[in-house]
Homo-oligomer: A and B are copies of this chain.
């Protein structure tokens, strides 16, 4: 039917047109000797990300100080067909910023600082190497909230957050990293600088270039600056832990609370009993419920109204209880109470120490997550009897996490578990990555979530913007 003129060959980097030594000389001349590190001058931080996967010392590490430096560096590498791997805070969980031995890594760590806070426009202009926490604090100081938050906030960088379209804690309320971006500056593979730092919510002047680069994992360009949207601060927060009869009850409760509170519902974290009971055990907490239940939801209500004392939220849960929509509920009466409830959900911080964790970050239509969990658990039990697995997720964002403990199935091949679970997503139109991205580690599973036509279109776009294939080769594709 088609002539396949969009079907590009697999992405690969063109053969070097200059030896590495000559490229490094050109880079030193352009950026200064001190900005081009090799061998032992390259710190441990540049070798791998938070997965600790395959630490590798790149051929060189570039430390540009400006957008112009990044532009000069890429123009040189483009001409030489020299692969370049952009690096941010190295907190990724998919190996997306790990360089190979012949790659040049380019760290944004010196491109830091808040350039401007425009309070009237509710917009913050920031350089890519700034940590998320620094940006959050600047927003807070100006009386606003940056609606992006994740555990790695102290180390991860805005550029990396945007390049991977990070998710995190507030997606149900304010969307992913993508939804926080008003403007973006990107350096293309050939060194061209696209400066689209507009602060406007509405701007229909040709293709919306920022969306090409957000979530492209450094394969189409290197983000150097961004204009982020600022939100008003929420003034009152109330936390509840709810016991439920099962997944359908959880979805009904989510809809019921959304109808009543809109996006004042700031968290809706679901824990299946395997996870909940393990969390209680790990944290040494006491479950506030008598007996056990089929499902637990940790819910946060966050209101702009400083005088909101939580009565409406409490009344909504009381109604739900009286109508049989939920089994039980406790509402935190203090910040300490709320922290104790959150501690159960956040027991995942202990996973790397306590488990041989085989982690999944998948997404599915909200309507089928419950069914998937049941199918997945049965299939795991049949395939690996005695496995200990934990199911939990941000279901308002359609995001499910599963952790299988490798210790519980001695000698198991982690890769076999990954393949087994990912394969189950296909028929339910699920995604092999909700928020962590594809990077290096999920590359082989991408075709489960993307059709050949989609992959061909991505390759055509990659080829158009990075014809020599120098940007983050071997990632995503």
Contact = CB atoms under 8 A, between A and B. Distances in A.
Interface of A: 1-6, 71-72, 75, 78-79, 118-123, 143, 164-165, 167, 171-172, 175-176, 178-179, 188, 190-209, 211-212, 214-216, 220, 231-234, 251, 255, 258-264, 304-305, 312, 363-367, 394, 396-399, 429-438, 446, 449-451, 453-458, 460-461, 463-465, 467, 476
B200 A1 contact: no
Nearest to A202: B434
Contacts of A71: 1-2
A259 B431 CA distance: 36
A56 to B, nearest CB: 23
B206 A365 contact: no
A470 B214 CA distance: 28
Contacts of A75: 1-3
A453 B204 contact: no
A268 to B, nearest CB: 12
Nearest to A258: B232
Contact of A304 (B164, B260, B434): B260
B304 A450 contact: no
A8 B182 CA distance: 27
A201 B449 CA distance: 15
Contact of A398 (B3, B200, B312): B200
A215 B204 contact: yes
Given A122-B366, A176-B202, A3 B434 contact: no
Contacts of A432: 205
Given A204-B433, A304-B262, A449-B205, A3 B79 contact: yes
Given A165-B208, A205-B450, A461-B212, A431 B120 contact: no
Contact of A206 (B194, B261, B364, B458): B458
A199 B398 contact: yes
Indicate the member of A167, A367, A463 with the most B CB atoms within 10 Å: A367
Contact of A433 (B199, B205, B232): B205
Lowest 9 A-B CB distances belong to which pairs?
A464-B464, A211-B211, A120-B367, A202-B434, A199-B365, A200-B398, A200-B363, A121-B366, A2-B191
A463 to B, nearest CB: 7
22 contacts: A2-B191, A3-B75, A5-B190, A6-B464, A121-B367, A164-B204, A165-B208, A193-B453, A197-B429, A199-B365, A200-B363, A202-B399, A202-B431, A203-B398, A203-B431, A203-B434, A204-B215, A207-B458, A231-B262, A262-B264, A460-B465, A461-B465
Given A260-B304, A305-B260, A465-B461, A431 B397 contact: no
A163 to B, nearest CB: 11
